[in-house]
Structure formats: structure tokens, C-alpha cells
């Protein structure tokens, strides 16, 4: 337990699946704890000897990032390196003999220390017995959370935003978990709609038990780009307390905040750490008094997706169950990833350097967002198209007034969506259909949306693609 001046989390036994409850600690992991006794000789675990690791060191070059921040860690190109026996031979806290061997599924003690400090710095949980462990990314986090909480044999269902990250939907579908979409406005899922749905839930009519889990992407939501205000989060949290809902907060875009005034970030000196932190919106984790939130974070969008590294934060009870699953699945993230990310975020950057890096990313993505919005202004026919201006993340969400298509009555919304999609594809531009992200694809489709990302293409290509999108729309809608 981390902070004894704070209250303890509630228990979530009634939410856990039989499978989750039945997971016992790996017997060899338990035995490994005896190794802490000084002088213990182990003939128990099948750990390969580091003498036979065909790596004596690894290193990586960190590019210079001119103007990334005041801090000098970004000024010049630099190298990070880790040797096989650094712990024994010097004062290093981590080395390859540890990182590349079997370890605990929660991740190395070294990385967990960094994550714990980071969590206390950024989220300051309000309850005492929170804990954290590493994952192989949020994809695995979502999957393991679902296996912990939802069971089709119990008739379980979960709630998501009405437009939802496609991979989360694809996780639930083959598990036989019913997905219930919550209607959204510009601020994200609408708490009154959720409250009414839960209050009037009719299990027989809906073919599923009343949902007991909410999956939500509160920042720069994928695909709608919407970001929940602090007030919205509090209202959702309150509704979840009322209906005994456990919250899975999938927040990979939390640090990709995009200020609306793009002049405010360019060439300006970076904010002091406390100002930067206090400008971040409160997370669900940071307002969680009950321990009812499992927060899922990822290095994918802020360092590299290929590291396959992220972490979850929740009450000790939930993290313990989560680790039991990881022991028989991923067995934690790759040792190479843990070694390199640790060297970067702990030894090279430190917490201040990491936050400086995030400010640099924010400025970059804000610039990209503004290029895309300017292209929308220039090339899209406003009589039939409207869009949001995302305040976080990587996505713009575009609404098409499909009823203005000539002879619209002869076509369904789905037909017109496909027609626009195909017309863009023919012209060499791939955009994402709104219908790909529908939580409940069997319901009638009323609106036509497209998701466009400003993360991936160059400014020139973004302009070309948006102009092409505009040309395709003008031809289909018969506009000048």
C-alpha cells in the first residue's frame, strides 16, 4: 500500500468472472520469492544462465531534438547503453542479466518504480491501496480487463461509446459479450443517457444482464476525437457509482493534448513541470475514490508502438488478478523493451525530461491538426460537411449531410457512406468509415461519418488527400 493517509479501495469480487477468480499464483513464481534469502542456491527454476546470453550489451542512439525543451537532454544526439553485468560491476540499478531473464509478469521492479512515481506525479490517486503493473500495450490491457470482468455464461454485457475503438469491439464480440453503445455529444458519452439505460434495463428484452462495466476512451476518443471535460467525467463517475459500474479507462492519448491556439505553443519556452501537469485534465483514476477504475496507459502513442509496452493502474485486488492472467499469457513485456525504455525514461530523461518530450509532441501534433483543419476549410464543401476541432489525440471526425445527395431517398446511409469511401479509394485516398466503429452495428444507421487522422501523413499529403476527398464529395453531391 502506497499512502496510508488515504482510504482503502472497495472490493470488486461481485464483478469478477469465475475464470478470473480461479486463477492461482504460478507455483514457480511463488517459489522464486525464496531467492530473496541471502545465500540461497536455487536448483528450482529453469532460468537460463546469463553466461549463455548472446548479448553482452545493447545500446541505442537518441536523436537531438532542437528546441524540444529547455532541458539540455534534448540538445545533442546521445547514446543509452546497458551491459550484461552492470549491477554487479557498478552502481547501475538494472542490467541485461535481469532484463533478459525470466522475471515477474508484472514487469521489472525497475520499470514499476518509474511507473509508480509517474502515477503519483500525474494522477495522485485518492485511495491508499492502488497498484500498477506493466502490459504489452493497451490492446492486451483491454483484453485482460474483459476476461476479468465479463463472462458470456453469466449473460454479461459492457457499455462503450456509441462509436468505439474497433479493436475493443473485436475483443468482446468473439467472447460473446454484448456491447451496449452510449449516445455521445461533443463531450463524449452522455451520463443521463447511461443512467436512463441502466435504470430501465430489461434483461429479458435486451438478451443480456444489466451492464456492469463501462469501457471509455476519455481523451481524443478513437474514432470521434472527442475529449471529456472534467465535469463530464465526474457526472459519468457518479452514474457509475449509482449503478455499481466498474470503469475501464483506456487513455492512450491522454498526453496528446492539442491547445486550440496554435501560436501559443510555437517557439515558446516550455512550461515548468507543475504548470504542465496542472494544465492536464483530471483522469478518471485521479477522481476515483472507490478504486472502481482500471486505468490503461500505453507508451505506443508517446514513445513507440513497437515497444509493446504499457501499464495498468487499479486497486491492489484488481492488479493482483490482472498479474495472475499475465503469468499465463504474455508473461510481461519484452526484456529488450523494458531495458531500453527504462534507460530512456528513467536514466536519460527522468520524469521532467519525459514531460518535456510530451510537450514537444503536443506542439508537433497541434501543428499537424491545424494543417488538417486548414485543408478542411479550404477544400471541403461546407454545405454538406461539418467537423470537430479535436482538443486531443490524432483524429478528426467528419459528418456528411447525406440526405443532401441527389436522389438521397433511393439510398441508405450505408450506401452513401460506401459510395464516398469508394470514390476516395478510386482517387488514391483511404479514409476510415464511421460505420466501422459502431458499437451496435445492427441498429439502423442514421448518420454518415468519416475518421481522418493527422498523425501519419506529411502536410503536403494531408492537403492532397483532403482536396481529393472534397472533389469526390462534390462529384457525388453534384456541387460546383
Least Å distance, CB 102 to ligand PMP, is 7
* 250 part of the interface to ligand PLP, by CB under 6 A: yes
Under the binding rule (CB under 6 A), the answer on residue 217 touching ligand PLP is yes
Residue 138 engages ligand PLP in binding (rule: CB under 6 A): yes
Candidate residues 229, 262, 289, 331; the one interacting with ligand PMP per rule CB under 6 A:
331
Question: Does 312 sit near ligand PLP (CB under 6 A)?
Answer: no
Closer Cβ to ligand PMP, 105 or 172, answer by number: 105
According to CB under 6 A, which one of 132, 139, 334, 337 is a site residue for ligand PLP?
139
- Sign for the pseudo-dihedral over CA of 73, 74, 77, 80: positive
Counting contacts by CB under 6 A, is residue 107 touching ligand PLP?
no
Q: Supply the minimum distance, in Å, between the C-beta of residue 303 and ligand PLP.
A: 11
Site track 164-183 with ligand PLP (rule: CB under 6 A), x = hit: -x------------------
Total residues interacting with ligand PLP, rule: CB under 6 A:
12
Grid cell digits, residue 285:
483514476
Residue 105 or 462 having the CB closest to ligand PMP: 105
Q: Identify which of residues 103 and 310 has a Cβ nearer to ligand PMP in the complex.
A: 103
Cβ proximity to ligand PMP, 294 vs 326, nearer residue? 326
157 interface partner picked from ligand PLP, ligand PMP, none, CB below 5 to 8 A per type: none
Interface size with ligand PMP, residues (CB under 6 A): 2
Shortest Cβ 329–ligand PMP spacing (Å): 9
Binding part of the chain for ligand PLP, among 135-143, 241-249, 258-266, 322-330 by CB under 6 A, reads 135-143
What residues numbered 440-469 form the site for ligand PMP, per CB under 6 A?
A: none
Question: C-beta of 113: minimal distance to ligand PLP in Å?
Answer: 21
Radius of gyration for the chain, computed over Cα atoms and rounded to the nearest angstrom: 24
**Of the candidates 289, 300, 352, 388, which one interacts with ligand PLP according to CB under 6 A?**
300
Figure out which of the listed residues 103, 189, 291, 310 binds ligand PLP, where binding follows CB under 6 A: 310
**For every residue of the chain, which 3-state class applies, written as one string?**
CCCCCCCCCCCCHHHCCHHHHHCCCCHHHHHHHHHHCCCCCCCCCCCCCHHHCCCCEEEEEECCCCCCCCCHHHCCCEEEEEECCHHHHCCCCCCHHHHCCCCCCCCCHHHHHHHHHHHHHHCCCCCCCEEEEEECCHHHHHHHHHHHHCCHHHCCEEEEECECCHHHHHHHHHHCCEEEEECEECCEECHHHHHHHHHCCCHHHHCCCCCCEEEECCCCCCCCCCCCCHHHHHHHHHHHHHCCCEEEEECCCCCCECCCCHHHCCCCCCCCHHHHHHHCCCCHHHHCCCCCEEEEEECCCCCCHHHCCEEEEEEHHHHHHHHHHHHCCCCCCCHHHHHHHHHHHHHHHHHHHHHHHHHHHHHHHHHHHHHHHHHHHHHCCCCCEEECCCCECCEEEEEECHHHCCCHHHCCHHHHHHHHHHHHHHCCCCCEEHHHHECCCCCCCCCEEEEEECCCCCHHHHHHHHHHHHHHHHHHCCCC
Q: Is the dihedral of CA 378, 382, 387, 391 positive or negative?
A: positive
Part of the chain binding ligand PLP (CB under 6 A), chosen from 205-213, 232-240, 298-306, 444-452: 298-306
Comparing every residue's Cβ against ligand PMP, the nearest one is 46
Is residue 46 involved in binding ligand PMP (CB under 6 A)? yes
Only one of the segments 136-144, 193-201, 267-275, 285-293 lies at the binding site for ligand PLP (rule: CB under 6 A); that segment is 136-144
Choose from ligand PLP, ligand PMP, none: what does 331 bind? Cβ within 5-8 Å by kind.
ligand PMP
Q: Which stretches of the chain bind ligand PMP, using CB under 6 A?
A: 46, 331
Q: Which stretches of the chain bind ligand PLP, using CB under 6 A?
A: 137-139, 165, 217, 222, 250, 252, 298, 300, 305, 310
Amino acid at each position: 500500500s502506497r499512502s496510508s493517509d488515504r482510504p482503502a479501495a472497495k472490493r470488486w469480487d461481485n464483478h469478477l468472472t469465475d475464470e478470473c477468480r480461479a486463477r492461482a499464483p504460478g507455483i514457480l513464481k511463488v517459489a522464486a520469492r525464496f531467492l530473496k534469502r541471502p545465500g540461497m542456491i536455487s536448483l528450482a527454476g529453469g532460468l537460463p544462465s546469463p553466461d549463455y546470453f548472446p548479448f553482452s550489451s545493447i545500446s541505442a542512439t537518441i536523436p537531438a531534438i532542437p528546441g524540444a525543451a529547455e532541458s539540455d537532454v534534448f540538445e545533442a544526439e546521445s547514446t543509452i547503453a546497458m551491459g550484461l553485468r552492470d549491477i554487479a560491476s557498478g552502481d547501475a540499478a538494472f542490467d541485461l542479466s535481469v532484463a533478459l531473464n525470466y522475471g515477474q509478469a508484472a514487469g521489472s521492479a525497475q520499470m514499476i518504480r518509474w511507473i509508480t512515481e509517474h502515477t503519483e506525479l500525474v494522477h495522485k490517486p485518492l485511495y491508499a491501496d492502488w497498484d500498477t503493473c506493466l502490459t504489452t500495450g493497451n490492446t492486451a490491457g483491454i483484453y485482460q480487463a474483459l476476461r476479468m470482468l465479463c463472462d458470456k455464461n453469466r449473460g454479461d454485457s459492457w457499455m462503450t461509446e456509441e462509436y468505439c475503438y474497433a479493436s475493443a469491439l473485436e475483443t468482446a464480440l468473439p467472447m460473446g459479450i454484448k456491447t451496449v453503445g452510449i449516445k455521445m455529444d461533443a463531450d463524449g458519452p452522455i451520463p443521463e443517457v447511461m443512467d436512463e439505460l441502466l435504470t430501465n434495463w430489461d434483461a429479458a428484452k435486451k438478451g443480456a444482464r444489466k451492464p456492469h462495466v463501462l469501457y471509455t476512451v476519455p481523451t481524443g476518443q478513437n474514432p470521434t476525437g472527442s475529449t471529456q471535460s472534467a465535469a463530464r467525467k465526474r457526472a459519468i463517475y457518479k452514474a457509475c457509482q449509482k449503478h455499481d459500474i466498474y470503469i475501464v479507462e483506456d487513455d492512450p492519448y491522454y498526453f496528446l493534448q492539442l491547445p486550440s491556439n496554435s501560436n501559443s505553443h510555437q517557439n515558446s519556452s516550455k512550461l515548468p513541470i507543475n504548470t504542465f501537469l496542472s494544465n492536464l485534465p483530471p483522469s478518471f483514476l485521479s477522481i476515483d475514490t472507490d478504486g472502481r477504475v482500471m486505468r490503461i496507459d500505453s507508451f505506443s502513442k508517446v514513445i513507440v508502438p513497437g515497444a509493446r509496452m504499457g501499464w495498468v493502474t487499479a486497486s491492489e485486488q484488481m492488479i493482483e488478478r490482472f498479474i495472475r492472467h499475465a503469468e499465463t499469457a504474455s508473461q510481461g513485456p519484452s526484456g529488450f523493451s523494458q531495458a531500453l525504455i527504462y534507460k530512456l525514461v528513467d536514466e536519460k530523461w527522468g520524469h521532467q525530461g519525459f514531460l518535456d518530450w510530451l510537450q514537444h509532441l503536443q506542439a508537433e501534433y497541434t501543428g499537424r491538426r491545424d494543417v488538417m483543419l486548414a485543408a478542411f476549410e479550404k477544400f471541403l464543401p461546407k454545405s454538406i460537411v461539418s467537423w470537430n476541432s479535436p482538443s486531443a489525440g490524432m483524429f478528426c471526425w467528419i459528418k456528411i449531410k447525406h440526405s443532401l445527395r441527389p436522389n438521397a431517398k433511393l439510398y441508405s446511409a450505408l450506401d452513401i457512406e460506401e459510395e464516398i469511401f469508394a470514390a476516395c479509394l478510386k482517387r488514391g485516398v483511404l479514409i476510415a468509415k464511421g460505420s466501422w466503429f459502431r458499437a451496435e452495428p445492427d441498429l439502423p444507421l442514421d448518420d454518415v461519418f468519416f475518421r481522418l487522422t493527422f498523425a501519419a501523413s506529411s502536410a503536403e499529403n494531408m492537403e492532397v488527400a483532403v482536396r481529393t476527398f472534397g472533389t469526390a464529395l462534390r462529384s457525388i453531391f453534384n456541387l460546383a
